[in-house]
């Protein structure tokens, strides 16, 4: 149990377009989901924390108008990269925490390439 999926696994888009990434908890309900970003050979950096039914909390330096997060249900959170630029190219990873608390379960990640 405790499987988290992400879709798409990789996406290539043109500069200026928007890209939506989905994160789903497949076999459990998650009140809290987290979005991380990972650059090559770097650590995962927490971007934001989203709680079901409320606004996401963004880490310092992360533009909330650029990275739109929606956590509409207990099993789905989405990250939309708006007006993407080449510097937004990265590996985006989500994680979900069960309703009853405890460990975070990670998705396999989405690789975004902006041309």
Partner 1 sequence: GDSVTQMEGPVTLSEEAFLTINCTYTATGYPSLFWYVQYPGEGLQLLLKATKADDKGSNKGFEATYRKETTSFHLEKGSVQVSDSAVYFCALRSGGGADGLTFGKGTHLIIQP
Nearer to partner 1, 90 or 95 (CB): 95
Task: Supply the minimum distance, in Å, between the C-beta of residue 83 and partner 1.
Answer: 25
| Least gap, CB of 7 to partner 1 (angstroms) | 13
Given the complex with partner 1, which of 37 and 81 has the nearer CB atom? Answer: 37
Q: Which is nearer to partner 1, 84 or 96 (CB)?
A: 96
Task: Classify residue 114 by burial, with Cβ atoms within 10 Å: 0-12, 13-18, 19+.
Answer: buried
CB 56 within 8 A of CB 49: yes
Whats the size of the chain, residue-wise?
A: 115
Which residues contact partner 1 by CB under 8 A?
4, 32, 34, 36, 41-46, 49, 59, 93, 95, 97, 103-109
Give the residue among 73, 70, 76, 74 at the shortest CA–CA distance from 29: 74
């Amino acid at each position: 149990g405790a499987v988290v999926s992400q879709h798409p696994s990789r996406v290539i888009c043109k500069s200026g377009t928007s890209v939506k990434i989905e994160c789903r908890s497949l076999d459990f309900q998650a009140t809290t989901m987290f979005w991380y970003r990972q650059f090559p050979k770097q650590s995962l950096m927490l971007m934001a924390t989203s709680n079901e039914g409320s606004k996401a909390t963004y880490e310092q330096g992360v533009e909330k108008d650029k990275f739109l997060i929606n956590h509409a249900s207990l099993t789905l959170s989405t990250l939309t990269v708006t007006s993407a630029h080449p510097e937004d190219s990265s590996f985006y990873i989500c994680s979900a925490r069960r309703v009853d608390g405890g460990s975070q379960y990670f998705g396999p990640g989405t690789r975004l390439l902006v041309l």
